[in-house]
Structure 1
Amino acid sequence: MELNVQILRQAPDAAPYSQTFRLDISPGATVLDCLNQIKWSQDGTLAFRKNCRNTICGSCGMRINGRAALACQNSVANELKRSLQPQTITIAPLGNLPVVRDLIVDMQPFWQNLDDVNPYVSTAARSLGEGEFRQTPGQRAKLNEMGNCIMCGACYSDCNGKEVNPEFVGPHALAKAYRMLADNRDQATDQRLEEYNSTAGVWGCTRCFNCNTVCPMDVAPLDQISKIKGEILTQAQGLPAPRPIRHRQVLVDLVKRGGWVDERKFGLEVVGNKFRDLRGLLSLLPLGWRMVQRGKFPMSFEKSAGQAQVQGLIESVQSLEKSQAHQGVRSHE
C-alpha cells in the first residue's frame, strides 16, 4: 500500500521542520518498520532510537499521530484509523523533553525526576544482616503493576502537569514511588509521604488521564498517584492540613456548596486557612487590591444551576470512597 510518513525533524540548534516520505509498505508493518525503510532506502540521516523491536525496552518512544506511543508496537493499519489525514501517519519526538536530533530526545530530565523520588528500597530495611527479604505471593502481587513500567517516557511526554509545572516529577516517577510505598520491605513510608506531599510531587498532577491512556504497559500511573494521595490524606487525618491538601478539600467543598467555586472564599480558606494563617492572609492583600482596582473582585456569589444535583453526586462519591476505605481496613485486619 502507498503511505505518507510525515516526520517532524530537527537538527541541533535549528528550528524544526516537517518532511514527508512516501512508502510502499504492508498494512501489517509497524511504524518502526516504516522508519527503518526510510533510513535504509531514502534518507540515512534520519535519527531515531530503537532496540528490542518487541515492546520490552521502551527505546522507540515517540509521538505518533499526536500521542506518545512505541513505534514497534503500533501497526500502519491501526495508525491510519487514528490519522486525521488520508494515507498519512505523522511522527514527532516525545514532548516535555529537549530534542537532540529528529526523533531523539534528551532523557536526562526524565531520569533525574525518577531519581528525585528515591525509587529504591530504604537502607533501613537492609539492616537485617544476611537474611533474605522474603515476601508472600500476595505481597509481591501488589508490586506487579508498577513493576511493568519499561521507562519509555510516553506518560512523561503527554503529561499536562509536567508541561505547566517544570518542578513536577512526572507520572513515571510517582508510579515508581508508589511501588516503594506498597513494598512491605521498605521502612521509609513516613519520610516518603512527606516528600511526595507537594506540587512537585502528587499535587502537581492535573488528573488529565493522559498517562493512563498512552501507557503501553497498563501501569496506570494516575491510579498510583491517587493511591499516594489517599495515603497522605489518611495520614493527615486529625492534623492541620498543609496547603496542597487544603486546596483539594476546599475546592471539593466549595463546589459541593455552590455548584462552582466561590472565588472570594477560595483564597481565604486555602492560603489563609480560614483566617488561621496570618502570614497567608497578608500575602493575599496585594493580589486582592489589584483585583478590586481592576473590577475583577466578585462582590457577590450565586449558586450554579443544578447545585443540588452536584452536591448529591459529590456526596455519593464521598460515601463510596468511605465504604471502600472501610473495606480496605477490614481486609488488612
Structure 2
Amino acid sequence: MSTHKITTQKVNFKVFRFNADVDYLPYYEDYTMEVTSEEVVLDILNRIKWDLDGSFSYRRSCRHGICGACAIMLNGRATLACKESMNDMIELFGNDITLEPLSKKRAVKDMIIDKADFWQKHDAVSPYLISDIDEYPEQEHLVSPKQAEELDDADLCIQCGACHYACPVVEINDEFFGPAAFAKAYRFEADVRDEAGTDRLIEMHKEAQGVWDCVKCFECAEACPKDINPIGKITKLHLMLFREGVATSTVASRHAVGFKNSIAKHGVLDEGTLVLYSEGPAIVKHIPVALQMFRKGKIVLPWNMPKSDNLDEIQKLVKSSSTAKF
C-alpha cells in the first residue's frame, strides 16, 4: 500500500488572454486554484479550460514530452507544460505564477502562437539527409556507435520552439535562423552519411542569418526541455566552418580567432586588442567607449596586459582542445 501523501497549496495564476479575431490588445485573467503535489503545468491548463473558462486555448497532444506542442512561458521561463511539476515551479517562483505563450507578439489565441517563422527557418537549413544512394542498395549504410555519438543528441530535438522563442536575437532579428535550426543543421552536418559537403555550412556562415550572430547568452540551453544544449551545437558549427574552410574573414570570424589568440597569449582576455583585431580601422567608432572602459580599468594598455598565473596550463588546454585551424 502506497504511503505517498498528496498535498495541496493555493496558487494565484495570472494568465495571458488574447484572441486575434476580436481583441485589439492582450490582457490577463487571474485564477486562484488549489494545486496538488501530483499535478504538472499541463494539468493547470486543462483545469482552467475544463472548469473555469471553456474559451481558453492552448496546444497539447502527447502528454509525454515527445511532441513539444504544449510549450509555453511560465514566469518568463520556457516550459514544456506536460513535463514540469507544479511543485517544482512553486518552489522556484513562489505561489504567484504567470502563464504566457512562447511569443506574445506571435499570439493567435491565448497560449497558441503562429510558428510560421520557426518552420521557415527550420526548412531553410536543409533539415534532411542529403545522400546519393542506389535505389536498390545491396547493403545498409552502417553507422558505428562512435559515429552516432557525434550527433551529440541533436537528433532528440522535438521542435517545440522553446529555445527559438527564448533567443533574444530571434526577438530582434527576423533573419536569424535561431538555435533550433542550428541544432537541426548540426544534426545532419555531423551525420557521416550526409553528402551535402559545405553547402549547408555556407548557409550557416551568412551574416544576419548564421551562427555568428549568436550572442552566447545560453538562453537556448536553459529553455530546452530535452537538454539538447543548442549553444553547444552552434559552437561545433563554428569549428566546422573553420575546419572545412568555409569561414571567411569577417568581423565575427576574426573575433573568434582573436579571442583564442588572446587566451593563448595571456591566459586572460585582452578586450582592447580583441576589438582592434576584429574590426581593424573601424575601431575608431569605439574610441569614446574605450576611453570610458580604460578609466574604469576594464581595458589596459598592451604593454601593461597581465598574464595568468596558470598560463602554461591554459596554453596546453588551448592546444589540446583546438580541433580546427583558425
Q: Quick one: distance in 1 between partners of 2:12 and 2:292?
A: 57
Matched position secondary structure for 1:63: strand
Q: Quick one: distance in 2 between partners of 1:155 and 1:44?
A: 29
* Post-superposition CA distance 1:122-165 (Å, at most 9, x none): 2xx22433215512332334336011110111111211232233
Q: Quick one: distance in 2 between partners of 1:108 and 1:163?
A: 14
**TM-score normalised by length of structure 2:** 0.81
Q: Quick one: distance in 2 between partners of 1:300 and 1:148?
A: 43
| Aligned-residue CA RMSD (Å) | 3.3
Q: Does residue 1:118 correspond to 2:126, yes or no?
A: yes
Query: What amino acid does structure 1 have at the position aligned with 2:29?
Result: Q
Query: What amino acid does structure 2 have at the position aligned with 1:172?
Result: A
Q: Quick one: distance in 1 between partners of 2:14 and 2:191?
A: 44
Query: What amino acid does structure 2 have at the position aligned with 1:58?
Result: G
Consecutive unaligned residues of structure 1, counting only runs of 5 or more, are: 273-280, 329-333
Partners of 2:58 and 2:70 within 8 A in 1: yes
1:70 is matched with: 80
Consecutive unaligned residues of structure 2, counting only runs of 5 or more, are: 1-7
Q: Does residue 1:136 correspond to 2:134, yes or no?
A: no
2:173 is matched with: 165
Taking the TM superposition and a 5 Å limit, the aligned residue runs for 1:35-46 are 35-46=45-56
Query: What amino acid does structure 2 have at the position aligned with 1:262?
Result: G
Q: Quick one: distance in 2 between partners of 1:168 and 1:156?
A: 10
* Post-superposition CA distance 1:213-240 (Å, at most 9, x none): 1211111111111111111123349x86
Query: What amino acid does structure 2 have at the position aligned with 1:229?
Result: H
| Aligned partner (choices 11, 14, 20) of residue 6 of structure 1 | 14
| Aligned partner (choices 34, 50, 66) of residue 56 of structure 1 | 66
* Post-superposition CA distance 1:243-293 (Å, at most 9, x none): 421132235556867955328x836x4344xxxxxxxx6xx5xx95x888x
Q: Measured at CA, do residues 43 and 230 of structure 1 come closer, stay the same or move farther in structure 2, by a change above 3 Å? A: same
Deviation for aligned residue 1:7:
1.0
Which range moves more in the overlay, 2-11 or 241-250? 241-250
| Aligned partner (choices 320, 324, 328) of residue 321 of structure 2 | 324
Which range moves more in the overlay, 199-208 or 33-42? 199-208
Q: Does residue 1:104 correspond to 2:112, yes or no?
A: yes
| Aligned partner (choices 215, 219, 222) of residue 210 of structure 1 | 219
Deviation for aligned residue 1:68:
0.2
Identity of aligned pairs, percent?
A: 32
**TM-score normalised by length of structure 1:** 0.79
Partners of 1:195 and 1:201 within 8 A in 2: yes
Partners of 1:259 and 1:303 within 8 A in 2: no
Count of paired positions: 305
